[in-house]
Amino acid sequence: MSYQPIGIFDSGVGGLTVLKEVSRILPSENIIYLGDTARVPYGIRSAETVTRYSFECTEFLLRQDIKLLIVACNTVSAISLKEIREKVSIPVIGVIEPGARAAVNSTKNRRIGIIGTEATIKSSAYLKAIKALDKDIEVFGLPCPLFVPLVEEGWTDGIIARLVVEKYLKDMMYRGVDTLVLGCTHYPLLKGVIQDVMNKVCLVDSAIETAKVVRDILEEQRAKSKEQRAGDQGRLKFYVTDSTEKFVNVGERFLGKRIDDIEKINLGR
Amino acid sequence: MSYQPIGIFDSGVGGLTVLKEVSRILPSENIIYLGDTARVPYGIRSAETVTRYSFECTEFLLRQDIKLLIVACNTVSAISLKEIREKVSIPVIGVIEPGARAAVNSTKNRRIGIIGTEATIKSSAYLKAIKALDKDIEVFGLPCPLFVPLVEEGWTDGIIARLVVEKYLKDMMYRGVDTLVLGCTHYPLLKGVIQDVMNKVCLVDSAIETAKVVRDILEEQRAKSKEQRAGDQGRLKFYVTDSTEKFVNVGERFLGKRIDDIEKINLGR
């Protein structure tokens, strides 16, 4: 089992920040990434449609004989994680619960901010996950619609990023949160600017927290891939449902390395 | 026939810039606007899907007994205008041809810039429309992905808008275009900043150009609505396929007036 790959899917390119962290702390794992780029973004679709799409992604990855599934998509994690877990026999990790747990562990003044896409904030998924752990914590959600296009353009430092981050997060500062959850898989690329602007606040990077949970589960199940030789790197394989070109261009910035082994597939009808 | 309404549809809120101009130069017309907000954006979908959606919008508006149809959506104008025209017996106006024609009439140095969404620029629809009128004109297309979220956030003046516009349009200035087409229905809200940055360039606002074509056709067909009394305003009626709330919030900024008469409907399955 240990040599089986880990499967990760997202509606697009964002989940690559999760892949990056998993690959960093578990470098010898083989990982298969599926980006359903033909149908991105999921956040604007009905719960029924999101569930159907996520089943199609899950089934595709199960056919690749994965040992663990990471749902690196906030929308799916919020809407259909439970239904996916009921359908499959391998461990399924979403991105919301690990981030929520890390935020609860981090906060001292019990005031947590959540930033994400409009769909994620509207779903109250982080709010519910945090309240389930500690109902007395105050949670402030804020959608930041310009962050995703900023990141996709690669404008993650410089004056424009700085001003946009300041404009959105002014309100969070007034609210006195001591912990801020980056509740969108694109946002870790803006971490530097966000930390500069909110320099006394603890940033929770859901990608890192998700990767830690994956490591713990694989250790517990003794399912970690073993290095053949010290320093051996696992294989990274990518599938997308729309053109590979844009995914590679934007994705290499997310991943910080080359994307070589990529293939276009069809999902659904 | 003259009291029948004009029908306008778009995938979302952007077409309201066209409605605003039509209503400004033809104030006594009754107008029905349909925003297919549950399925926005069309630009990321296949041509087949865009055509199917646009037929559904067209059929809905035909049932409201419209006398003229405006396709205020760049994606549909680029992909399925011809097929819609073949299906219906009333005049059908898209947003690309009027903008292209105005740009060709405006340019002196025969160098035209087009800005729009990635989907519009990739479709080369403006390039083809301009080349069809004058094949010797040089056309430079540039996608500006941050403009739509800037406009939807209402950040249409101030330092952030200015810096984002400068960053995108630097390249257009080097190319020495004397005419720039705002090839996205959201962009007229950034016209002030864009004109400041490119102060010697003639901006072509597709919304205004489309409205002029509509006026000319109604005059030619003697189908203009007649005022009962001087200053009578036509009725504006709105339909959307997703929640009315966000549409009203953002849409009132686009329109510069209240949106009162709005209804949610279902299209397609």
| Interface confidence (ipTM) of the complex | 0.86
Two structure tokens written together for A119: 């769909």
Residue A267 to chain B, least CA–CA distance (Å): 14
The per-residue pLDDT for B48 is: 86
Residue of B nearest to A40 (CA): B44
Interface test with A, best of B13, B156, B167 (most A CBs within 10 A): B167
**Residues of A belonging to the active site:** 73, 184
Q: What is the distance between the terminal CA atoms of chain B, rounded to a whole angstrom?
A: 32
Torsions phi, psi for B122 (to 5 deg): -65, -30
Beta bridge partners of A202: A179
Per the CB < 8 Å rule, is A149 touching B145?
yes
- CA-nearest residue of chain A to B166? A160
Cβ distance B145 to A163 less than 8 Å, yes or no, reads: no
Amino acid identity at B69: L
One-letter-per-residue 3-state SS of chain A: CCCCCEEEEECCCCCHHHHHHHHHHCCCCCEEEEECCCCCCHHHCCHHHHHHHHHHHHHHHHCCCCCEEEECCHHHHHHCHHHHHHHCCCCEEECHHHHHHHHHHHCCCCEEEEEECHHHHHHCHHHHHHHHHCCCCEEEEEECCCHHHHHHHCCCCHHHHHHHHHHHHHHHHHCCCCEEEECCCCHHHHHHHHHHHCCCCEEEEHHHHHHHHHHHHHHHCCCCCCCCCCCCCCCEEEEECCCHHHHHHHHHHHHCCCCCCEEECCCCC
Q: What is the pTM of this model?
A: 0.89
Q: Which domains are delineated in chain A?
A: 6-93+208-264 (3.40.50.1860), 96-207 (3.40.50.1860)
The answer to whether A163 contacts B163, with C-beta atoms less than 8 Å apart, is yes
Residue numbers in B near A153 (CB within 8 A): 145-146
Determine whether the interchain pair B163/A159 forms a contact, defined as Cβ–Cβ distance below 8 Å.
yes
Determine whether the interchain pair A160/B149 forms a contact, defined as Cβ–Cβ distance below 8 Å: no
Amino acid at B46: S
Backbone φ, ψ for residue B239 (5° rounding): -125, 140
Give the distance from residue B91's alpha carbon to the nearest chain A alpha carbon, in angstroms: 33
Smallest Cβ distance to A160: which of B152, B153, B163? B163
Closest CB to B164 among A44, A160, A167: A160
Q: Give the amino acid at A115.
A: I
In this complex, the residue of A40, A153, A167 whose CB is nearest that of residue B146 is A153
- List pLDDT tens digits, range A173-192: 999 999 999 999 999 999 99
Q: Are B243 and B105 in contact (CB under 8 A)?
A: no
Tens digit of each residue's pLDDT (9 = 90 or more) over A128-158: 999 999 999 999 999 999 999 999 999 999 9
- DSSP code per residue over B209-241: HHHHHHHHHHHHTT-PPPPSSTTPPPPEEEEES
CA distance B194 to chain A (A): 16
Label residues A204-230 b or e (16+ Cβ within 10 Å = b): bbbbbbbbebbbeebeeeebbbeeeee
pLDDT in tens, chain A (269 residues): 678 999 999 999 999 999 999 999 999 999 999 999 988 888 877 788 889 999 999 999 999 999 999 999 999 999 999 999 999 999 999 999 999 999 999 999 999 999 999 889 988 999 999 999 999 999 999 999 999 999 999 999 999 999 999 999 999 999 999 999 999 999 999 999 999 999 999 999 999 999 999 999 999 998 888 776 767 789 999 999 988 998 999 999 999 999 999 999 999 75
Q: Which residues in chain A are contacts of B159 at CB distance < 8 A?
A: 163
Measured between beta carbons, the chain B residues lying within 8 angstroms of A149 are 145-146, 149
Question: Taking a C-beta distance cutoff of 8 angstroms, is the pair A140, A113 a contact?
Answer: yes
| Closest alpha carbon within chain B to A165 | B160
pLDDT averaged per 10 residues in sequence order, chain B, 269 residues: 90 96 95 93 82 96 97 93 96 97 98 93 94 97 95 95 97 95 95 96 96 96 79 90 90 94 88
CB-CB neighbors (< 8 A) of A159 in chain B: 163
How far does the CA of residue B59 sit from the closest CA of chain A (Å)?
A: 23
Q: Counting Cβ atoms within 10 Å, is residue B109 exposed (0-12), middle (13-18) or buried (19+)? A: exposed
Contacts of B45-53 with CB under 8 Å at 24 or more apart are B45/B75, B47/B79, B47/B80, B50/B75, B50/B76, B50/B79, B50/B80, B51/B79, B51/B80, B51/B83, B52/B268, B53/B11, B53/B267, B53/B268
Which of A40, A44, A160 has its CB closest to that of B167?
Answer: A160
